A and B are shown apart, each in its own frame.
Chain A
Amino acid sequence: MKKTALLLFFLIIAGQALGKSTIGRVTFGSYFSDENFKRNTAEGKSNDFLIFSSRFYLKGDKAAPYNHDFALDLRGKYDFYGKLDKDKQTLHDEYDAHPRQAYIKKSRRSHGLEYQLGRFSVDGVGINYVDGLQTNYKLNSTFKLGAYGGLIPKLTGEQKYSFNSKSKQSGVLLFFRPRRLGFRKYFFSSHGFSIQGYGSQTDRSFLHSHNSYIWGRRGRFYSNIVLDFVPRTFLQKGDFSISSDLSKKVSAELGWGTHDNLAISRSKTKREVKYSNRYGEVTTKLSYDFWEYNGIFIEGKIQRRKSDSSYSNQSTVGLDFPRFLKKEFSLYSYFSFRNDYEKKEYKANLALSYFARLWELFIDQSISQQNYDNNQVLRPIVAELGWAYFWARGLMTTFSYQYSTNANVDIYQVLFKLSYRFGSKPSAPLREGAPKKGHL
């Protein structure tokens, strides 16, 4: 504990001194959950857990020597994203502290050679993390070619990345982003071909393509495709979304997605490939703005599960007011009807947020009725109260209390988090229309 604290202190101080512009964040917090089951309590009545966790992030630009960028992302034990319970805590070490990212980087603004070394996420090609080296060559401000290679960190659970000397991956990358389209237009395209393997075996090869084009007020085209070639050719992931203004106040959105994730694991040296269950979804949404970005929407969704060829459809009508009442309030409320694979669900949700001078408050309340095919009726209620206070622009406290209940279980969850942001980079400007945040 002392060593950790000392290390963190050193890193914070070093972080302040390093780099032309440095940012960092230290987060401490605790998460408590109490689940009380009302039925089938023979083997236990509750799934309680309490964790204390921390996180440290440091990123610097143009640090000495040679103006390298660097980043360090340390996750403490458990990490906040990990929902634990008592059993998991005792059985697994996957929630130990570990570096999520640690790299140095040389970046170029115009043209030239860039490189990145360490554990990092290869953006734009769907690869989460690699322990290796990536080099890019910027032809100009529009085109960038790259290549990467390294080891695939072992992912334990959902959170922990640990060094894995056996699995490797490599790939080539292409980035395209035309400049000077103006503020209202933006196009970005990234393509990458990656190969993952173990030893001499190729476990997977795939093409990842991401494209996004933004225009006008609501105009947007987004696509994300992962096309696998090894072990077989199939579309592992495809997400398409297009939205556009139909008129000044009306906009529409159409989306299509398909997922058939596969997971490759090794049991000792034997590869195991797990295919999931292809799932596809089509969504459509129609929005009417009473005033800019604040209005009503209607959304329809159809989902299909290939395994049993079952469909699910959902209709939602709601209000979306991200900034209203002097732009100090945010409201998101909807009523939906969902004909699920195994139930019919009627759901109402209300999320209301308030942005005060130095704090934020939100209330999220949802209530639904689930009529299962087996005539079971559940009425889950989820109510959450969250509060964030900004002691200073970089010092933030978050508190959340959530209560969830249905006929089977009562769940109480409390989160407390203290986050301190430091560095030389300025914070985001005050959001226009928001109340001033004191000396932030």
Chain B
Amino acid sequence: MISRLLLLLLALLCTGPNAWADKEEGLFNKLLAPGPLSLPHHDLEAMDCLKCHSAGEGVPNEKCLACHKEIKEHVKLKKSFHGNNVKGRCLKCHTEHLGRKNDTTKVKQRTFEHKLTGHILKGKHKKTKCIECHTTKRTKKAFRKNEPHYLGTTTSCKGCHKKDDSHKFKGKWEKLECSKCHGEKKWKEDNHDFTHNKDTKHKILGAHKKLKCIKCHLPKGKKEDSIYKFEGLKEKQCLTCHQSRHKENFGPKFVKKSCNTCHNQKSFKMEKFDHSITGFKLTDKHAKLDCIKCHKQSDKKMEIKSEHFVWKGTKADCRSCHKPTHHQKFTKKFEKLKCTTCHTTKSYKDEAHAKANFDHGTTKFKLTGKHKKNSCRKCHLVNKKSTYEFKNEKSGYCLSCHKTPHTEQFRDDFSEQSCNSCHRTESFKDVHRKEFDHNETEFELLGKHQKVKCQKCHVPTNKTFKESHSFKGKFIFDELGEKSCLTCHKDHHKSEMGPNCRTCHTERGWKVQRDFHKDMPLTGVHYTLSCTECHFEERKLKGLGDQCIVCHTKDDIHLGSLPKCGACHHQEVWEVTRFKHSMTRFPLRGVHRTLDCNSCHGSGNYQGTQSSCISCHTSDALSVANPVHIMPQFNDCSRCHNQFSF
């Protein structure tokens, strides 16, 4: 009974009100289905349930995917929404048997996260409306036929932007996605994923890196097609894009050379050009110059334009650019001299180089002394005009630059001499006597005269001299022969000693006198005397050195009887004499010691005095009567008498 009821129930269900809903609803469905299927699936109702259901498994995904093959493909490839995000059963999102109006595929556009599709919207795409990319509508679908059909929309840029493709790539580039180069943030964002040096055969360097693609690849603007294949790039190289301004201005050496010879991609303007390859190495200031400074075509003033650069034919000769101030002023000998002998590119006016390299000795005027330190202009630039030929060769060229104060002051034989006779280049004022032989002037310079400056003796005078017409004879002494020293020196002796001062004085020092005391050296007290103490009133005593009496008359205790004082005395110590009375035949003893010298040596007669007693005691002898002493046997008084007690 129950079973019958169940079957009945089942039949009712299948044919129940749901059955009464759709005519096409299958009987089974009418009996078993919980409800009618959605409109897109309504034709499945005529089929058995097993079309979707599996006994004991419910509705497996395979059943769904058997019809939804596109989704199956996505799932397999794991792309799109279903491939990236769906896990689990289809029924999870797409339930059925909820009636014809059941719509399980509706997408909430506002809240749908597009990243679930595996395609992340970036940049402007974020703001793009769905319909702008998903342009296909659901016309074939049961529901929302005017809504975009999302499934199957390509993620390729070209899917939407094909009309924007201006590249018209060919070959391998054609297959590339736009995103290789373009960005969703900014369409014109270059090198999005494109490395020119890796992805192309042409490496871009230097300033080229900063260029926008269109600079090269769309040179003529959007009106033209972009260029990606440059014909003859290998051959033309830079000229493919860059127009040469040099035209035919290169010399043959450089005509065939590539632009890289001079230019680099860092900056088209040359930073460094090895000018040495031209055969003219640029050094120092030349290296700092702009090319135009030298490579000018004409002297005319013109607006500087590149076509005016003349590279070929520019001479390496200094004169092609520099107007020489020496032009045609050098003597023939030096005309062919290179500018670089004297000048350098460091500084045209740098004379150090000139001095180092130019041997002035090759000229007629060798540089010595202070001349060496002079700048070239000092001599060779007169009144802003350069001069290289000088007159006054006889004077040693000195007068070409130096004014002479000796004008007409020299005697004839001196006036023609070179200035070098007296002056040196080390110091003009320092008259170098070694070079000037003063002996030629008949006045030999000796001693201190050698150190005296010329001006000391050669003082200006208004005197005129017979010998040399009338002029201020600064260097002539007309009276020198006669006066000699007195020409310059005052005679303190007032002519007493004659005019020849050299007799006593020397040039070594006025107070240093000649050795006129050669025959009588002054020693002892004499050495401390002044000359006039002996030579008062200019008294001369030459040859009288042994005649002490001449000066010492008043001191002579011998009263002039012993003129040869030196026999007993010496001037070092006058008081101590060689003469000792005690060492004579007659030593003074006894009472004799108490007597004056004159008592025996009457009036200073010392040499002629006899030592016999009788010579003094004659009267004493005569006065004795007993015995009478005037007898031969009484000649020797000492036989009876002695000095102590007569």
Residues in B neighbouring A275, C-beta threshold 8 A: 602
Residues in B neighbouring A360, C-beta threshold 8 A: 523-524, 527, 572
Q: A415 contacts which of B543, B573, B604 (Cβ < 8 Å)?
A: B573
| B498→A183 contact, CB < 8 A | yes
Separation of A203 and B557 alpha carbons in the complex (Å): 21
Residues in A neighbouring B596, C-beta threshold 8 A: 157-158
Separation of A434 and B615 alpha carbons in the complex (Å): 49
Interface of B is mostly: loop
Among B135-143, B270-278, B474-482, B508-516, the stretch in contact with A: B508-516
Residues in B neighbouring A186, C-beta threshold 8 A: 539-540, 542
Residues in B neighbouring A305, C-beta threshold 8 A: 607-608, 610
Most buried by B among A260, A276, A330, A411: A276
The smallest beta-carbon distance between A15 and chain B, in angstroms, is 15
Type the 1/0 row for B543-572, where 1 means its CB is closer than 8 Å to any CB of A: 110010110011111011101000000101
Give the residue name and chain of the B residue nearest to A275 (CB): B602
Type the 1/0 row for B502-536, where 1 means its CB is closer than 8 Å to any CB of A: 01101000011111011111111111111111000
Interface residues of B in 18-56 (CB under 8 A from A): none
Residues in B neighbouring A157, C-beta threshold 8 A: 596-597
Number of A-B contacts (CB under 8 A): 267
| B572→A362 contact, CB < 8 A | yes
| A380→B550 contact, CB < 8 A | no
The smallest beta-carbon distance between B552 and chain A, in angstroms, is 10
Type the 1/0 row for A402-414, where 1 means its CB is closer than 8 Å to any CB of B: 1010101101010
| A406→B561 contact, CB < 8 A | no
Interface residues of B in 573-610 (CB under 8 A from A): 573, 575-576, 578, 580, 582-583, 585, 587-590, 593-594, 596-598, 601-605, 607-610
| B587→A279 contact, CB < 8 A | no
| B530→A80 contact, CB < 8 A | no
Interface residues of A in 110-150 (CB under 8 A from B): 121, 123, 126, 128-129
Separation of A186 and B543 alpha carbons in the complex (Å): 11
Separation of A43 and B563 alpha carbons in the complex (Å): 36
Q: B528 contacts which of A262, A355, A393 (Cβ < 8 Å)?
A: A393
Separation of A172 and B174 alpha carbons in the complex (Å): 159
Does chain B have a CB within 8 A of A20? no
Residues in A neighbouring B128, C-beta threshold 8 A: none
| A277→B608 contact, CB < 8 A | yes
| A323→B608 contact, CB < 8 A | no
Interface residues of B in 475-502 (CB under 8 A from A): 495-498, 500
Give the residue name and chain of the B residue nearest to A35 (CB): B582
Give the residue name and chain of the A residue nearest to B566 (CB): A332
| B594→A87 contact, CB < 8 A | yes
The smallest beta-carbon distance between B572 and chain A, in angstroms, is 5
| B578→A222 contact, CB < 8 A | no
Knowing A430-B512, A432-B514 are in contact, say whether A259-B597 is a contact too (CB < 8 A).
Answer: no
Separation of A419 and B555 alpha carbons in the complex (Å): 18
| B498→A182 contact, CB < 8 A | yes
| B523→A355 contact, CB < 8 A | yes
Does chain B have a CB within 8 A of A351? yes
Knowing A43-B590, A121-B553, A259-B607 are in contact, say whether A411-B518 is a contact too (CB < 8 A).
Answer: no
Q: A432 contacts which of B515, B555, B570 (Cβ < 8 Å)?
A: B515
Q: A421 contacts which of B512, B513, B517, B528 (Cβ < 8 Å)?
A: B528
| B610→A277 contact, CB < 8 A | yes
Does chain B have a CB within 8 A of A96? no
Give the residue name and chain of the B residue nearest to A88 (CB): B594
The smallest beta-carbon distance between A111 and chain B, in angstroms, is 13
Knowing A355-B521, A382-B578 are in contact, say whether A428-B560 is a contact too (CB < 8 A).
Answer: no
Most buried by A among B519, B528, B560, B608: B608
| B559→A47 contact, CB < 8 A | no
The smallest beta-carbon distance between B342 and chain A, in angstroms, is 58
The smallest beta-carbon distance between A12 and chain B, in angstroms, is 16
Does chain A have a CB within 8 A of B112? no
| B582→A408 contact, CB < 8 A | yes
| B543→A219 contact, CB < 8 A | yes
Residues in A neighbouring B540, C-beta threshold 8 A: 183, 186, 214
Interface residues of A in 171-209 (CB under 8 A from B): 177, 179-184, 186, 188
Q: A261 contacts which of B522, B528, B603 (Cβ < 8 Å)?
A: B603
| A274→B594 contact, CB < 8 A | no
Residues in B neighbouring A65, C-beta threshold 8 A: none
Q: A126 contacts which of B527, B553, B610 (Cβ < 8 Å)?
A: B553
| B495→A261 contact, CB < 8 A | no
Knowing A362-B570, A386-B572 are in contact, say whether A428-B580 is a contact too (CB < 8 A).
Answer: no
The smallest beta-carbon distance between A160 and chain B, in angstroms, is 11
| B605→A276 contact, CB < 8 A | yes
Q: A31 contacts which of B550, B575, B593, B604 (Cβ < 8 Å)?
A: B575
| A388→B524 contact, CB < 8 A | yes
| A261→B530 contact, CB < 8 A | no
Give the residue name and chain of the A residue nearest to B528 (CB): A421
Does chain B have a CB within 8 A of A396? yes
User: What would 4 more interface pairs be, CB under 8 Å, given A257-B563, A364-B570?
Assistant: A23-B533, A43-B589, A277-B610, A428-B528
28 contacts between A and B (CB under 8 A): A35-B582, A43-B644, A121-B553, A157-B596, A158-B557, A183-B500, A184-B542, A186-B539, A224-B549, A263-B598, A305-B608, A306-B608, A380-B583, A384-B576, A388-B524, A390-B528, A398-B573, A400-B576, A409-B580, A413-B576, A415-B573, A415-B575, A419-B525, A425-B532, A425-B533, A426-B530, A427-B528, A431-B522
